[in-house]
Amino acid sequence: MSDAIRLFGLGLGPGNPDLMTVRARGILERADRLAHFCKKGRRGNARTIADAVLGADPAREIAMVYPVTTEIPADHPDYAAALNPFYEDCAARLLAEAEAGRIVAVLCEGDPFFYGSFMHLWRRLRDRVAIEVVPAVTGMSGAWTRADAPITWGDDVLTVLPATLPGNDLARRLAATDAAVIMKLGRHLPKVRAALGEAGLLERAIYVERATMAGERVVPLSDLPEDEDAPYFSMIIVPGSGRRV
């Protein structure tokens, strides 16, 4: 660990702690402060992944409690109005810890630079403190591996889509790609299912929930009951069918 680095964006992988990198585990064990995002009254997902390496340690932990999560749509002005000061406050707290000479690790499920909340802190702090981002196995990599579904063959093009896009945009982008991963499902699952049907990809789509973790579930999307909700750790993968040799 370099003495110059005081803040780490620590990717912990898709969920199974065995898939954590050696680099991430070493920093996790030695950091003075462990910061993690969470909902009010709940442990953060990344903090839960870290439980296999270390137990609760209130003296080291900094819980960054979201003021809102799914209560307000992400494209609503009130969402940004709530999250912007939250990230500003979190950045100030972490900067103060680093300036006091402590090593701060921000725990991130998946990879910190892939749809991660840590990026909002990195943007605010990158010019003010030395930061190292520790990459990790992504959730989507865990999903297609646990589904036993090679995602791209030959010259297949992979498109990663947030389910928050409008349905017509989803259908258009799905129709134009060879393989796809659709993230951030939640209440958007019915819209995504319809978009996949419109793109002619419904039969190739696989629903993966809690990949690599306890409670893992892998099922063809066409077999998933239409009235089911999708939890946070879920996504849909559409494997490519390109060149084989």
Q: Tell me what the mean pLDDT of segment 167-171 comes to.
A: 97
Which of 224, 225, 223, 165 has its CA nearest to residue 192? 165
pLDDT value of residue 68: 75
pTM, two decimal places: 0.90
CATH class of 7-137: alpha beta
pLDDT value of residue 3: 54
Q: Where are the domains of the chain?
A: 7-137, 140-238
pLDDT value of residue 52: 86
**Domain 140-238: assigned CATH number:** 3.30.950.10
pLDDT value of residue 116: 92
Q: Answer yes or no: is pLDDT of 163 > 70.
A: yes
Read off the pLDDT of residues 73-113 as tens digits, 9 standing for 90 and up.
666 677 778 889 999 999 999 999 999 999 999 999 999 99
pLDDT value of residue 15: 93
Read off the pLDDT of residues 22-65 as tens digits, 9 standing for 90 and up.
999 999 999 999 999 998 888 888 999 998 888 778 889 999 99
pLDDT value of residue 231: 87
Q: Answer yes or no: is pLDDT of 245 > 80.
A: no
